[in-house]
Structure formats: C-alpha cells, structure tokens
Amino acid sequence: MQVTIESAEGLEKRMTVELPAERVDPEVEKRLREMTRSVRMNGFRPGKVPLSVLRKRYGEQVRQEVFASLIQSSYYEALEQQAVTPAGPPKIEPEDKGPGQVLAYTATFEVAPEIVLGDFGAAEIKKPVAEVTDADLEEMIRKLRKQRAAWEEVERPAQTEDRLTIDFEGKIDGEAFDGGAAADASLELGSGNMIEGFEAGLAGATRGETRSLDVRFPDDYQAAHLAGKPAVFEVTVKKIEQPVLPEIDAAFIQAFGVEEGGEEAFRSEVRSNMERELKEKIHQKIKDGVMTAILETTPLDVPKSLIEQEAEALREHTRQSMGRQAPGIELPLSLFEDQAQRRVKIGLLIAEIVKANGLKVDAEQVEARIRDAAQSYENPDEVVEFYKTNQEQRGQIENLVLEDQVVDWVMQQVQVADEPVGFEELMDPKRQTEKS
C-alpha cells in the first residue's frame, strides 16, 4: 500500500492511498468462489454455477463491495502510517481502473490545529466586587411581594408598575401586519415586554385615552420581516390597575418555605439566597472574562467539521428547548455557527492548557460542588448518592471543576483589576441600563 499526503486549504489534508491489484483481485475471487455454493441461477443446479458465469454477472458488484471494505480498513491503516489524526470524517473519492490495475482513493479531511498558547501576562480581567446591602435586600423583598400582589383599579394617569388593559393595532407604511393587533391585552408598564418606546409612550395615559406611538422594531427582532422597520401603533387604554403588595405575615413567609423564625428568619433566608446567587454570578463573570482572554491571547483556526458538529448540537438543543412552542419552525444552521466556533475554540484551548500544565481534576472540589448543588433539593443526600452511582452526570461535574481549575490558573497569569459594582447592576445589567 502506497500512501501520500499533502496539505490543502487551511487545516485540510488530502491523503491518496493506492492498493495494489494483488490485494484486491484475490479477495474478489475468494468471494466469488464462496458464492458458487449458495447462488441459484436458472439452468444450473444449486452449487453448480460456473465461476466464469458468476464473474460475468456479479464480478463488478463484488469488486465494489471489496473496494468499499478495503477503503474502510486501509484508511485507518494509512492514517497510522502517516501519524495523522483527523478532526472529523473524511470525504472519499475512489478511483478504480478495473481488474489487474492499482485501486486508489483520495481521502480529504481536516486535522486539529497545532496550538501554541500565547502570553497571558498582558491580558487584563475585571473582577466584580459586590455585596448584598440592606437596600438590595429590601428591594428583593419588595419584588417577592410584588409577585403575589393583588391588582386594584385606579382612575389616575398610568405610571411604572401599573397594569394596563389595552387594545392596539400596528401599521407599517400604513398597512396592518400579522401579529400587530390585539384586544384586551394586559401590559405591565416597565416590564420590558414590548419593543422600545411602546411602554414609555403610555406613561401618563388615562383610561379611555387613545395614543399614537411611533416606534421601531429592533434590527435583531425575531420576526425577520419586521426587523428594523418603523411602525405606528394606535393604542387605547381601557383600564389601569395598581399593584397592592401583601403584608409580610405568617402566610406570606410560609409561602417561601420558611416554617419557623418569622420575619427575621425569612429575611435571613432571602439574604442567603441572594449572596449565593451573587457568588455564582461573580464566578460566571470572571469565567467569561477568562474565556475571552484565552481567545484573544491565542488566535486559532479550527476545523470546519467541528464547527458544523457543534452548530448541529446547538440547533438540536434549541429545538428541544422550544418544544411545542414553535412546531415546525426552521432553524438555519448559520444561526449557530458563531457560537459554535467560539465553543470549539474554547474547548481546544482549555484542553491544551490542561495538557500543558498537567492539570488533574480535584476530587475534593468535585465533592464540594456536588454538595452545593444538592442543597437546593428537598433530599440532598439522595442527590449526592445519585452522583456517586451515575458516572455520566458525575463526569459533567468533573468537567466543570476542571474548567474552574483552568480559570484559576489563568487568573494567576493575567492582570486582575477589581471593579466595584452594585448587586442590581451585576445581576441584571439590562434592567439597570434601562433605569439609568
């Protein structure tokens, strides 16, 4: 077997494999002889069909079967001979010149890139510094009360947090469009559920008033035929209601699972939850910064096949997440390519950092992470036991811990700048921007 390999565009390789006739023809003859014992043909007794007749009728078919089998086995043999590891499946182009001739094929595939990690010393990562203040706690409790608020109709102008009942009709260039009208729709001012300018345009409106709102659909609006287009909505306010917050009494407190200790225990529980969420958010922000630093420090070309595989996985995950909410919706693979490329790059770079620095999964961190995750369940011990017996799920935790170890390693290499930030801004930067 003769093997030659050459570089093509980017990470692509073209490997040509030539199989000598003496490796192909004997196998064809062997299979044809085996067929003489089982093939039935008119005019011949079972097992008595002449080999020459079989060769004429089935020779080409058997040769193609042998060719396919030899391609599969010789491909991996050729890769081992050339010490090459493909990053994805190959594209095979066969070339068969007939009996007695060299049988050849070309396998085109991509290989993983050679990675040379950059110098992280010049990179800077901002580390959020935040705490849960008494004001943050009071605001969170107010939000929890608002979730269980009753609604009371009022006869004053509408303001933020009021709930409006409205009729509306939207037009683009004077023409109505699908989904642009509704009757008796419920809208809470300040919720951000409508496009920019819609809710703000209803501030100060009174019951029975009709307003004309000039708005513009965002450029990235999910309905492509509306994206970026200006529209005019005629909106009639039919009812205005204000929230009436419940008292922090025993019933309210017990609704959040606090059975003993009254309001003091309730506030302590809420603060503990906020501090846990804050810790997780800070960790995620740092991790995001590290991943960005890794990408910027080490430019990298990645195999297109890996990007396609990851994009397909993301698309399938999105389909499952949407479920019955959007049956039959078509999701172009291109929607996921940028995210897929980033994920593939990060995966390759993390693997290289782990390899270059001999990082191993810290078993104690794995156990600690499992215990932390178990605390949010009713029976934490059962959750811990589940991870002990389910290796696949435990493996996911181990991967997360290993990523955290990579984050810790990178943070020791880069320049770290503390960035003071408020709880609300860190937890919901979009809403904070809207308020400012």
Mean pLDDT of 98-117: 83
Quickly count: other Cβ atoms within 10 Å of residue 258's Cβ: 19
Q: Which pLDDT value is given to residue 268? A: 94
CB 255 within 8 A of CB 148: yes
- Measured CA to CA, the distance from residue 3 to residue 97 in angstroms comes to 18
Domain ranges of the chain: 2-110, 120-132+262-322+331-435, 150-244
- Reduced to 3 states (helix: H, G, I; strand: E, B; else coil), residue 17 is strand
Residue 38 has pLDDT above 90, yes or no: no
**Pairing outcome for strands 415-420 and 124-129:** parallel
Share of the chain above pLDDT 70, in %: 94
Choosing among 3.40.50.620, 3.40.50.40, 3.10.50.40, 3.50.50.60, the CATH entry for 150-244 is 3.10.50.40
Q: Which pLDDT value is given to residue 432? A: 46
Residue with tokens 């995950």: 317
Q: 322 — phi, psi (to 5°)?
A: -70, -35
Residue 225 has pLDDT above 50, yes or no: yes
Mean pLDDT of 8-14: 88
Identify the residue with better confidence: 354 or 59: 354
Mean pLDDT of 228-247: 95
Mean pLDDT of 18-42: 78
- Measured CA to CA, the distance from residue 295 to residue 346 in angstroms comes to 7
Q: Which pLDDT value is given to residue 433? A: 45
- Reduced to 3 states (helix: H, G, I; strand: E, B; else coil), residue 277 is helix
How distant, in Å, are the alpha carbons of 290, 351, 400 from that of 411?
A: 7, 17, 16
**Residue 247 per-residue DSSP state:** P
CATH of span 2-110: 3.30.70.1050
Residue 436 has pLDDT above 50, yes or no: no
- Measured CA to CA, the distance from residue 219 to residue 350 in angstroms comes to 34
Mean pLDDT of 160-173: 94
Per DSSP, what are the bridge partners of residue 296?
none
CB 30 within 8 A of CB 62: no
C-alpha 396: how far from chain center: 15
Residue 247 has pLDDT above 80, yes or no: yes
Q: 433 — phi, psi (to 5°)?
A: -65, -40
Q: Which amino acid is at 83?
A: A
How distant, in Å, are the alpha carbons of 112, 366, 384, 394, 409 from that of 363?
A: 30, 5, 14, 11, 17
Tokens of 314: 């993301």
- Measured CA to CA, the distance from residue 133 to residue 141 in angstroms comes to 13
Confidence category of residue 435, pLDDT binned at 50, 70, 90: very low
Instruction: Give the helix/strand (H/E) hosting 5.
Output: strand 2-7
**Pairing outcome for strands 2-7 and 12-19:** antiparallel
- 246: region left, alpha or beta (phi > 0 left; psi from -120 to 50 alpha): beta
- Measured CA to CA, the distance from residue 87 to residue 12 in angstroms comes to 10
Q: Which pLDDT value is given to residue 431? A: 52
Q: Which amino acid is at 187?
A: L
Q: Where are the beta strands (DSSP E) in 141-282?
A: 150-153, 163-172, 175-188, 210-216, 230-244
Residue 236 has pLDDT above 80, yes or no: yes
Q: Which pLDDT value is given to residue 417? A: 95
pTM given for the model = 0.72
Identify the residue with better confidence: 50 or 315: 315
Q: Which pLDDT value is given to residue 158? A: 96
Nearest to 13 by CA among 69, 82, 115, 102: 82
Q: Which pLDDT value is given to residue 326? A: 54
How distant, in Å, are the alpha carbons of 212, 318, 326, 327, 344 from that of 331?
A: 35, 9, 11, 11, 20
Mean pLDDT of 411-433: 84
* Residues 316-336 pLDDT 10s: 888 887 765 555 567 888 889
Q: Could you tell me which CATH class the domain 120-132+262-322+331-435 is placed in?
A: mainly alpha
